[in-house]
Structure 1
Amino acid sequence: MNILKPFSLGLIAFSVLAVSCGGGSDSSTSTTTTTPPPSAPAELSLEDRYKDDPDYIKGLALMKESDCPSCHMVERKIVGPSYAEVAAKYENTEENVNLLAGRVISGAVGVWGEIPMPAHPTLSEEDAKQMVKYVLLLKK
């Protein structure tokens, strides 16, 4: 029986060592980490997006002082098209800024339907261009 005693102690020691090293289990456990998909960036408000843009700041101030909001809104049609509709139709180019500023000053009819846009002859060309630049920034 003396032969069995060292053999038994060796077997027990080996078993303890095997279990403590992870070899004593038939089931394997693996951990996987999944990274959640990146959340979409929060859409910035117009004020946040253009807070440092001089065309936006000056154009918005001029719009607020004018009669434009009685016929136009940023994203909703009232009498005339929304500013967003105008921005979607026209690229922000110097040629379009001049064209649209001229229509603001002289008035226009037929471009957006049969309701005429009244003329604004007292508006300076510089202010009209600034207002148009503001509108064209609203392109989505």
Structure 2
Amino acid sequence: MKKLVVFAALCTAMVACGSGDTNKGTEDKPADNASTAPAASGNEKALEMIGALDCTTCHKINEKNIGPAYTEVAKKYEATDENITMLADKIIKGGSGNWGTVPMTPHPTLSADSAKEMVRYILSLKNQ
């Protein structure tokens, strides 16, 4: 769980540091029942936010680095509204203890909507 907190905080910092617009990509967010084409667009926006923050310093998609791989996080957590909110909160507030002793940097300037979009993308990697 600590690693997840570290991951979430690092992701948030990358978004916060990468752009003055912390709501980037959230205005055009598709509805939950939208087709796969808009979902792919949402994934691209989430990847842009992750790339703009410091997330990739500690996390990789398929392999453990300083923090857990995104696919490990996806396997640990179901993509429920409750988990998405909890993980987005961890990105924003940071913390440690869930995935080891290395703390995840908080990202307090990241909006909850942006953090949730990033979490949705990460959790979509469950079967990779």
- TM-score of the pair, normalised by structure 1: 0.62
> Which residue does 2:68 correspond to in 1?
81
Unaligned runs of 5+ in 2: 1-35
Q: For residues 3-50 of structure 1, give each alpha carbon's deviation from its aligned partner in whole angstroms, at most 9, with x where no partner exists.
A: xxxxxxxxxxxxxxxxxxxxxxxxxxxxxxxxxxxxxxxxxxxxxxx7
Q: Does 1:113 align with 2:100?
A: yes
Matched residue, 1:70: 57
The 8 Å contact of residues 71 and 80 in structure 1, kept in 2 or not, is answered as yes
Structure 1 stretches of 4+ moved >2 Å = none
8 Å CA contact 1:87, 1:138 repeated in 2: yes
- Paired residue secondary structure (2:50): helix
Corresponding position: 1:100 with 2:87: yes
Please identify which structure carries the higher helix content. 2
Q: Name structure 1 gaps, 5 residues minimum.
A: 1-49
Larger Rg: 1
- Residue in 2 aligned with 1:134? 121
Task: Provide the C-alpha distance between the structure 2 equivalents of 1:88 and 1:112, rounded to a whole number of angstroms.
Answer: 13
Equivalent-residue separation in structure 2 for 1:55 and 1:91 (angstroms): 19
1:76 corresponds to which letter in structure 2? E
Greater relative contact order structure (CA < 8 Å, 6+ sep)? 2
Identical residues among aligned pairs (%): 45
Cα-Cα RMSD: 1.3
Q: TM-score, normalised by structure 2?
A: 0.67
In 2, Cα distance between equivalents of 1:88 and 1:139? 5
Q: Distance in 2 between matches of 1:104 and 1:66?
A: 11
Shift of 1:102: 0.3
Give, in angstroms, the shift of residue 55 of structure 1: 3.1
Cα offset for 1:51?
A: 6.1
